[in-house]
A and B are shown apart, each in its own frame.
Chain A
């Protein structure tokens, strides 16, 4: 090869090489640039995913991601806390195990109805279900389910929230409304009672007056009749009156005068008795309902119990005998009279029911006793009823807790009674019970403090002397 050829070749090769070098440089520059972009993109992605994770974990709402079988892929912190699990404990367990039996079916049904094409359209649509905490305690929750496809496989996302607090607030509200309704009922009963009392008392006044009048006038008539009898006997001696005396005797016999003499006074007596009972009941109903008294008023509890017993007579008279043991020196008690009467009524009615449910041939016993000590007044109502089983003792004061059939019990009696005694009167309501033997409910209330007045007058006495 000649030198010229060689040189040319060299030159060509040089050129080619520098071209290749330039190309390489350009390419590697391109590579560098795209690499840099890639890095940047991946950093953004990492940032975004960190953000998402943070949201996922910080969300107060429970978020659970599961595959088509319900095996949990991911669970957020809120999920673990709500269901009472350690970190990471939920992963790979089954979603449906977090719900109680009924809710499991409902949730599965929800999931079946979701269409993966319409991804997260279902979030607003939440259903109330019952969840289970780690120890199996049920609690109320709301659940929304949505499904989507990932790599051709069906996945589910559960969004749920613990609604225990909200439920409690609702129940409290409900209870307040119930109580309000109850007190309105009592209030209108009171208004009704005083209206009826007026309507009944007016006729009672004149029925009573008339019966008294009949009683007295009959006595007067009787003495006249007696005088006539004497006359009749005298007339018998005279033949010319024979016809008349015979007629009188026949009349007297037809009218059965001897019977009338006996029965008229006793029938009037019984009428008067009945009138007295009616007016007692009317008075009792009026007193019991205390219309219009919404402020603390001092009352004689013995009297209030007497009244309540007569108003509730129909509730207990077929199942029990009632006895009272009243503290004669019971101090006055400041209270809302209508409310306190209701408490006593609820306890008496419960006692009667307990006796009834125990059954048995003989009448049961309801004994009511009042006493006072250390500025406290107490009323105890003891029944010989069925007693309260151990298992129920913690719940009887709960609103709506009842062991009675519908129509007989509402489960509100004791909860209302407790509220009235403890909240409104600063007193206590407690019980002791023995199954099959009976139960005693005891109310204690603060009494009026009369000591201040006494101390003062005593000081005055000393001064005056």
Chain B
């Protein structure tokens, strides 16, 4: 079945232009071009969609409002903003309800490529519930303690961006979200940023502070469905993998960029599990009957429940959020490096080495 892609803009020339360029994909995608937010909402109420590409400034229902509703009624969609320039207030309203922000003019080839990759990753998740959980994730849970430290760091009179940068670099929920925002054009040009600390510095306190204030980062305590035992384990595992992957990369004499990418890949290697444990707390039935929390066991239960791995979920989320390519690939292929586009990629190798060293790999080798 071909993917259903919806383009929304108030400028007819834009719609016609997109229609002409994407005409060559008419056999691959089922496309609709809708004039404004209202028309788009009406269309969505009658038709399913896989991808939404929407403008921001539109008369009547603007982009932020449209996407907010679309995220509720169609959480399974990939939601991309394609906009010339938006004011900050409007942009803040799109942070949780859209996945990426592309500035106009955008290269339609790369837009097409982005959509294709996301759809391919989505198709690896056989369960619709899991697809919805991933694309419906506005933010990943963050430990209460870290969130409090972060609030103190940005709010106090002596608030320091450097402190905030360190905190963002330390937890997967924070690191992933900030990389998403900096790699997209939400607050500026959008450039490729590999390090969470650098992302924080680039965005600056003008943006970081309102993000924290507006509750863009959710505490684990505020995630009612969370399986806390699995969450705690996931966090510990993420941090130790981050350190191990960084070490592996630096021992392999990788460049400083690759070392940081490896650290980030380690930190984010199990964001898929964060999605699962905050949406499907009961998927870990073994734990309820007294089983210990250990990675191989969790993998197995996830596979039983969803017929896919947490790496598939994490890989999908990373692509949805437009995280650095090397990180997306390393996450998605952490258990299947041979099928990666480049199995010798330094970041992927570092994550493999970290998994060996950290005990995750051994189990698999044995299994």
- When the two chains form their complex, are residues A209 and B17 in contact, meaning their CB atoms are under 8 A apart? yes
Residue A407 interfacial (CB < 8 Å): no
Give A79 to B82 CA distance when docked, in angstroms: 75
Give A460 to B239 CA distance when docked, in angstroms: 9
- When the two chains form their complex, are residues B14 and A205 in contact, meaning their CB atoms are under 8 A apart? yes
From B21, B84, B246, contact of A202 by CB (8 A): B84
Specify the chain B residue showing the minimal Cβ separation from A329: B256
From B24, B105, B106, B205, contact of A216 by CB (8 A): B24
CB neighbours of A463 from chain B (8 A): 243
From B17, B169, B201, B203, contact of A332 by CB (8 A): B201
Give A332 to B203 CA distance when docked, in angstroms: 13
CB-contacts of A113-171 with B (<8 A)? none
Residue A293 interfacial (CB < 8 Å): yes
CB neighbours of B256 from chain A (8 A): 329
Give the number of chain A interface residues (Cβ < 8 Å).
47
- Chain B nearest CB, measured from A299 CB (Å): 7
CB neighbours of B4 from chain A (8 A): none
CB neighbours of A203 from chain B (8 A): 13
Residue B348 interfacial (CB < 8 Å): no
- When the two chains form their complex, are residues B84 and A213 in contact, meaning their CB atoms are under 8 A apart? no
- When the two chains form their complex, are residues B20 and A210 in contact, meaning their CB atoms are under 8 A apart? yes
Residue B103 interfacial (CB < 8 Å): yes
- When the two chains form their complex, are residues A449 and B85 in contact, meaning their CB atoms are under 8 A apart? no
Give A427 to B18 CA distance when docked, in angstroms: 48
Give A326 to B240 CA distance when docked, in angstroms: 36
- When the two chains form their complex, are residues B84 and A197 in contact, meaning their CB atoms are under 8 A apart? yes
Residue A77 interfacial (CB < 8 Å): no
Give A450 to B197 CA distance when docked, in angstroms: 9
CB-contacts of A205-226 with B (<8 A)? 205-210, 212-213, 216
- When the two chains form their complex, are residues A201 and B197 in contact, meaning their CB atoms are under 8 A apart? no
Residue A29 interfacial (CB < 8 Å): no
- When the two chains form their complex, are residues A298 and B201 in contact, meaning their CB atoms are under 8 A apart? yes
Binds B, one of A93-101, A279-287, A310-318: A279-287
**Given A212-B21, A329-B256, A456-B166, also A206-B201 (CB < 8 A):** no
- When the two chains form their complex, are residues A213 and B161 in contact, meaning their CB atoms are under 8 A apart? no
Give A207 to B206 CA distance when docked, in angstroms: 34
Across the A-B interface, give the 7 residue pairs with the lowest CB-CB distance, nearest first: A298-B201, A209-B17, A206-B17, A297-B204, A198-B85, A213-B20, A198-B84
Beyond the given A202-B14, A210-B17, please list 8 additional residue pairs across the A-B interface where CB-CB is below 8 A.
A197-B85, A205-B17, A207-B17, A286-B85, A294-B206, A461-B244, A464-B240, A464-B243
Of the A-B pairs whose beta carbons lie under 8 Å apart in the complex, a sample of 22, sorted by A's number, is: A194-B85, A201-B104, A201-B105, A204-B104, A204-B105, A207-B17, A208-B105, A209-B14, A209-B18, A286-B189, A294-B206, A297-B201, A298-B201, A329-B256, A449-B162, A457-B242, A457-B243, A460-B239, A461-B243, A464-B243, A465-B244, A465-B357
Q: Which residues of B contact A (CB under 8 A)?
A: 11, 13-14, 16-18, 20-21, 23-24, 57, 82, 84-85, 88, 103-106, 108, 161-162, 165-166, 169, 188-189, 191, 197-198, 201-206, 239-240, 242-244, 246-247, 256, 263, 357-358
